[in-house]
Structures are given as structure tokens and as C-alpha cells.
């Protein structure tokens, strides 16, 4: 049976016989008490997977590996920011998690309580996550360095009993003190102020005091060697809350369950990422984002694999750092974002070729649409290592569209995240809500019930869950809010957000289409396009490009002509700018709404997740010098 035939057989079963399929996948984890019902979908769109089953994430991710692989590295921490490394075996992790769980219980944390984790990429962050789920507490990790108002809104929404933080983090060699941000956030909250546990890294020479703060090292002393039995919780028990980035107004907390989350993680490692026990995975992301939750922390540890926890940038101390880690740790699967690859693309392929990548079986990319030219470049640079595009969201927790390395990869098409993952019954709708077919652009939807691992609701707001995700179509469908198209072979191509549609004189163009066209120019590393208001045409296109290193600067007319040739004269940008960088979130997504606001002379508003505020000024300067 070919990989494509094997996939089709398993995919159809995951849709047509959901209970049997997912019941089998549930055997990949340990159940303290067997579930009584695989799927409860009595109250659409709410779903309960593996109802009646009792289990514990920490037991599955830590305890059950100790006997067989206690001396194997569970977490390999590498920091190019502080030039430190630390290997933590599964036995070490078991000890550290139990000790922290004991401390949490002493601090009054019980099953169902929330703990907000505001930490940099240090091992204690993973230990804290595991300690929470060990005792049934619900963690909410907030990206390190988030602005104070963003912190306050998340504290108000989750009402945590405890915040775990550090004195500071580092990024690009610069210290970011966390405590002043946290203090400002705490002063703005409307709920009862949580206790604060501080891990002192010695990075902040003048740390800001927080009244009543607890020093982690001191507090841990009495808990050395303590053992805390895992709390056996119902499969539907919340495991964590993760707030979607870029939210405006009241934050939206994605709530994940326990049993479904674990089953999704394990089967995705087996079938999608092809990483087994004892193998090595490196997800070049951050624990503050969903990729970090899923594929730095939970999926590798649930599998019994080794996970690389990296604190630093992919180009520091040089653009070969990630590839040197692949060679040194014999990494089997590397997972990062197209943004990171575009950054490395600007420095050239020699940094890749300088290292022994013989252990690397697959590179996976996700987080934003992967343009064809970047896909082609990194595939050629890796000289035979398959490059697989994934499409998924914070809300789903694992891929909606993907190829399957564990089944033997199907054909890879540049620019396509391939086909629906198990359990995702995808459909496309036109602007009138009518289901459409092959080679026609439409809104990507998923027919519920959503498979295990997806969000079960919005924290504390079931109505918002339904109204936000299931109320945009006549039929009860989950809205991804992305435009897509699929070809004759069933391969999907993501065209960008539904609201990233530019309407030029009645012609609907996706921002992705314009950006893809610009990226075909050999001098262009990445691009962003927005639709600005125009009295005559409704909208016109304004585009911004970042160039490769050491290339001749193409003229604006030359770049405009590339778009016109590939899409048509209607798509020729009115304004074209060559800029040094684009404003992005910390997870690497271009913030088009900020670019559009500046292009239309509006205030971009608060952007708590922006990576480099100077890039807004770069865009503003370009717009002011239009011609």
C-alpha cells in the first residue's frame, strides 16, 4: 500500500468510524481508570472525549518513563543567551516535578486552581507546567516579556492563585526584567492578587521588589526529595488555558482538556512527526505559544523522546547555531516557523551545509503560510531532507492540514500543507455560505465534532466559544477564519485570513497571492501586502518587501511588474516599498493590521506581542515617503 493509500484509509476511518479509530489511539496513553465512552457529542458543538476515564498528564509524560528510560535525557536545555547548557534525565525530571508539586501544594494550590507561568525558556518552566498537571491544577503560560496590560488582562480572566516568574529573561543579548512588568500588571488587576513565586537567575542587577514575593530557591529547600502522588482526573478536566496572541479587548482563553489532549499529542508524534521513544525533537518556538506547549513540552515527553529547549535566536551567535545543535544532539525532527527559515534564508545556505545533518529526517514548518519560494529554497538547501508544511491554530493544538512522515510521506507540493489530518472533516464555503469544490477559493471550515486535542471551550465563556467559532455559517461548522483552495489531488493551499482579502474594483485578491508573487523575485526574502482605502476602486494594494542579503536593490516598478505578470494588471500594487524589516508578533506572524493602520494614517493601537517596535517606524517612514 502506498503512503497516499495508507493515509486515505486511515483518514476515512477517522471520519466515518470516529469512536473505533480514536478508541484505538487512546491505547497510546495510560488510563488509571478506563473510559466508558469514546465520544460524547450530545450537546453540539461541545465534545467530551474518553468520557469517564481517569488519567494524569504528568504520570504519562514523566513517571511511566522512569523505569525504562530513567537515564535518558528528557530535556536538553541550551541557552546561547547566558551560555549555559543543562541535561535533565527522566529520573531528574521526576524528582524536580515532585518537589515543585510539593511546593505548589504548600502554597495552597489544589486541583482546578489556576497557576500563571510567566517565565523565559528555562527548564523550570517545563517543570512548573508538569507540576501543575500532576496535582490537577490548570496552568496558563504567558509569553515571557509580555506587556503589563496584557498580563493584567490574563490574570483578570484566569484568576490564578499563583504567578511563577523570574527576575528577567534575555533575548538577543539584551536583558528584559520581568518583575517590573508583572508588578505593573498586578497593580492593574481587578481580581484578588495572586501569590508570586520568583526564580532568581541573577540577570537583573537591580530587581524590582514585589510585596510578599516568595524566593523559589529558598522555598524549595524543605521540599527536596518529596514525592507527591498524581491526581487522577477525568478526561475532560482542563489541563491548561492558553490565550490567543493579538487579542483585543477581553482576552480569549483557549481551554484544553486532559485525555483528548494527550491522545492527540501521542498519535501526532507517531503518524505526523515520526518521532518515537528515545528519539530527539527540536521545536524552535517558545513555551508561550501553542507550538511550544504541544511540541517542546507535551508531545515529546508523552512519547518518551528527548526535547531540545532552546533559549536564544536562530542567528546568534551565528546563523549556523540550530544546524550545529542538530549535528551535536543527533536531532531527528526539527520544527519551526517559515519566519525563522526566511531569516536564515537571508544569510545563505552555507551555514546549513557546514554541519552534519545525517540524523535529521524531516523539517516541519508552521505558524503562518509557507510561501512556495521559501519552501523551495530550504528544500534545496537541506539537500534531500523533506520539508513539510503544517497548518494549524492555537485553538486546535495540533495540525489541521499536514503530511504524514510516520506513514511514509506522500508527495510534497511547494506551498501546500497537504491534506486534512485525522478527524478533521474540512469543507470550503463561498461568500454566500455554499460549499464549493476543487480549485475554488473559499473559507476553510471543519465539520464538528472536532477531534481530540482541540479546544473544548473558551475559558469561562461557553457562549463566546459558540459565537466566535461556530456561528459564521448556516450549518454548524468550525470557522478557521482562513481562506483556502484545494487542487485535483486534494492538496490544500492556505490563501491567508478571511479578513486579509483585498477588493480592488470588485476583484477579490488574497494578501497571500500578492506576497507569493513578490517572493518569486530572486532578491526578495519576504513580503507583506495590505489593501488601503481608495475612493475609486474601493481598495488599492500597498506592498512592503525585505530583501535578501547582498543583492542589488530592484526598482519599485520592477517589483510591481512581477505581481502584474503573475496575477494580472489588477493586482499591480499602487505603492511599493523596500524596507529593512516587517512588524511581527513574537511568534513570527506579520502584523498586517498594524501595517494597514499606518498605511491609512490610523493609530495601530496597543500591540503587546510585537517583536521589534522599531519596525513600525520603518513602515511609517516608508509610507510618509510614498511616490
d(CA 227, CA 205): 35
| pTM metric for this prediction | 0.86
Burial class (CB in 10 A: 0-12, 13-18, 19+), 602: exposed
68 phi and psi, to 5 degrees? -90, -35
CA angle 82, 582, 294 (to 5 degrees): 55
| CB within 8 Å of 156: residues ≥ 6 apart | 189, 190, 191
CA–CA separation, 355 and 371 (whole Å): 26
Structure confidence at residue 205 (pLDDT):
87
User: In sequence order, what DSSP letters do the residues of 9-68 get, joined into one string?
Assistant: HHHHHHHHTHHHHHHHHGGGS--SB--SEEEEEEETTEEEEEET-EE-HHIIIIIHHHHH
CA-to-CA distance for 443 and 436, rounded, in angstroms? 10
Q: Are 410 and 419 in contact (CB under 8 A)?
A: yes
What pLDDT is stored for residue 231 in this prediction? 98
Which residues partner with 163 through β-bridges? 116, 196
Instruction: Assign 549 to helix, strand or coil.
Output: coil
**pLDDT recorded at residue 247:** 35
CA distance 275 to 268: 9
Q: Give the number of other Cβ atoms within 10 Å of residue 96's Cβ.
A: 21
CA 328 to chain centre: 25
Q: Is the distance from CB of 81 to CB of 202 less than 8 angstroms?
A: no
Is 468 within 8 Å of 481 (Cβ atoms)? no
What gap in Å lies between CA 409 and CA 362, rounded to an integer?
10
Report d(CA 101, CA 229) in Å as an integer. 9
Q: Is 423 left (phi over 0), alpha (psi -120 to 50) or beta?
A: left
Contacts of 73 (CB under 8 A, 6+ apart): 87, 88, 89, 306
For the chain, domains (ranges, CATH) are 3-192+209-483 (3.40.50.12780), 499-624 (3.30.300.30)
pLDDT given for residue 229 in this prediction: 98
Q: Walk along the chain (627 residues) in steps of 10 and give the mean pLDDT of each run.
A: 96 98 98 98 98 98 97 98 98 98 98 97 98 98 82 94 96 93 94 97 92 97 98 98 65 95 98 98 93 97 98 94 98 93 90 97 89 91 95 96 97 95 97 93 96 98 95 93 95 82 71 87 93 82 93 93 83 93 80 89 70 82 87
- In this structure, the strands spanning 442-447 and 478-486 are antiparallel
Helices then strands, counting H and E runs in the chain, come out as: 21, 33
Amino acid at each position: 500500500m502506498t503512503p497516499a493509500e495508507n493515509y486515505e484509509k486511515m483518514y476515512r476511518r477517522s471520519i466515518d468510524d470516529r469512536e473505533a479509530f480514536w478508541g484505538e489511539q487512546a491505547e497510546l496513553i495510560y488510563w488509571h481508570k478506563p473510559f466508558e465512552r469514546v465520544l460524547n457529542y450530545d450537546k453540539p458543538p461541545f465534545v467530551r472525549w474518553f468520557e469517564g476515564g481517569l488519567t494524569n498528564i504528568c504520570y504519562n509524560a514523566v513517571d511511566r518513563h522512569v523505569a525504562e528510560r530513567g537515564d535518558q535525557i528528557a530535556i536538553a536545555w541550551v541557552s546561547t543567551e547566558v551560555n549555559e547548557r543543562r541535561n535533565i534525565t527522566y529520573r531528574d525530571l521526576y524528582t524536580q516535578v515532585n518537589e515543585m508539586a510539593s511546593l505548589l501544594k504548600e502554597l495552597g494550590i489544589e486541583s482546578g486552581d489556576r497557576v500563571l507561568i510567566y517565565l523565559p525558556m528555562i527548564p523550570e518552566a517545563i517543570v512548573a507546567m508538569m507540576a501543575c498537571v500532576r496535582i490537577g491544577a490548570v496552568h496558563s503560560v504567558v509569553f515571557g516579556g509580555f506587556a503589563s496590560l496584557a498580563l493584567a488582562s490574563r490574570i483578570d480572566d484566569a484568576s490564578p492563585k499563583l504567578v511563577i516568574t523570574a527576575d528577567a529573561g534575555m533575548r538577543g543579548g539584551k536583558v528584559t526584567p520581568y518583575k517590573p512588568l508583572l508588578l505593573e500588571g498586578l497593580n492593574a488587576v481587578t481580581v484578588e492578587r495572586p501569590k508570586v513565586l520568583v526564580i532568581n537567575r541573577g540577570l537583573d542587577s537591580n530587581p524590582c521588589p514585589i510585596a510578599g514575593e516568595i524566593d523559589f530557591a529558598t522555598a524549595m529547600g524543605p521540599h527536596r526529595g518529596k514525592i507527591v502522588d498524581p491526581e487522577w482526573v477525568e478526561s475532560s478536566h482542563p489541563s491548561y488555558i492558553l490565550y490567543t496572541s493579538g487579542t483585543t479587548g477581553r482576552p480569549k482563553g483557549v481551554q484544553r482538556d486532559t485525555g483528548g489532549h494527550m491522545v492527540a499529542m501521542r498519535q501526532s508524534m507517531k503518524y505526523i512527526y515520526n518521532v518515537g521513544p528515545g528519539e530527539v525533537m527540536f521545536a524552535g518556538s517558545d513555551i508561550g505559544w501553542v507550538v511550544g506547549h504541544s511540541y517542546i513540552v507535551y508531545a515529546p515527553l508523552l512519547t518518551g523522546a528527548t526535547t531540545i529547549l532552546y533559549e536564544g535566536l536562530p542567528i546568534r551567535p551565528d546563523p549556523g547555531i540550530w544546524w550545529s545543535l542538530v549535528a551535536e544532539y543527533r536531532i531527528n525532527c526539527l520544527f519551526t516557523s517559515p519566519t525563522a527559515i526566511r531569516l536564515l534564508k537571508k544569510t545563505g545556505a552555507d551555514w546549513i551545509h557546514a554541519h552534519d545533518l545525517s540524523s535529521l529526517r524531516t523539517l516541519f514548518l508552521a505558524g503562518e503560510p509557507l510561501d512556495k519560494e521559501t519552501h523551495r529554497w530550504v528544500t534545496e538547501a537541506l539537500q534531500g531532507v523533506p520539508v513539510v508544511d503544517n497548518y494549524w491554530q492555537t485553538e486546535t493544538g495540533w495540525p489541521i492540514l499536514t503530511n504524514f512522515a510516520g506513514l511514509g510521506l506522500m508527495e510534497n507540493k511547494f506551498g501546500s500543507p497537504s491534506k486534512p489530518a485525522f478527524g478533521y472533516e474540512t469543507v470550503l464555503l463561498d461568500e454566500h455560505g455554499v460549499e464549493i469544490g476543487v480549485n475554488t477559493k473559499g473559507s476553510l471550515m471543519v465539520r464538528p465534532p472536532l477531534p481530540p486535542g482541540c479546544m473544548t471551550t473558551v475559558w469561562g465563556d461557553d457562549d463566546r466559544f459558540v459565537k466566535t467559532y461556530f456561528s459564521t455559517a448556516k450549518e454548524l461548522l468550525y470557522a478557521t477564519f482562513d481562506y483556502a483552495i484545494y487542487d485535483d489531488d486534494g492538496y490544500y493551499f492556505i490563501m491567508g485570513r478571511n479578513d486579509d482579502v483585498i477588493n480592488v474594483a470588485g476583484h477579490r485578491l488574497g494578501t497571500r497571492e500578492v506576497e507569493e508573487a513578490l517572493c518569486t523575485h530572486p532578491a526578495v526574502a519576504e513580503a507583506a501586502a495590505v489593501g488601503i482605502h481608495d475612493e475609486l476602486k474601493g481598495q488599492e494594494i500597498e506592498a512592503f518587501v525585505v530583501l535578501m542579503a547582498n543583492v542589488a536593490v530592484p526598482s519599485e516598478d520592477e517589483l510591481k511588474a512581477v505581481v502584474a505578470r503573475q496575477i494580472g494588471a489588477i493586482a499591480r500594487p499602487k505603492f511599493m516599498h523596500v524596507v529593512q524589516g516587517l512588524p511581527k508578533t513574537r511568534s513570527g506572524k506579520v502584523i498586517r493590521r498594524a501595517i494597514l493602520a499606518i498605511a491609512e494614517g490610523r493609530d495601530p493601537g496597543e500591540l503587546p506581542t510585537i517583536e521589534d517596535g522599531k519596525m513600525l517606524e520603518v513602515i511609517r517612514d516608508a509610507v510618509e515617503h510614498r511616490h
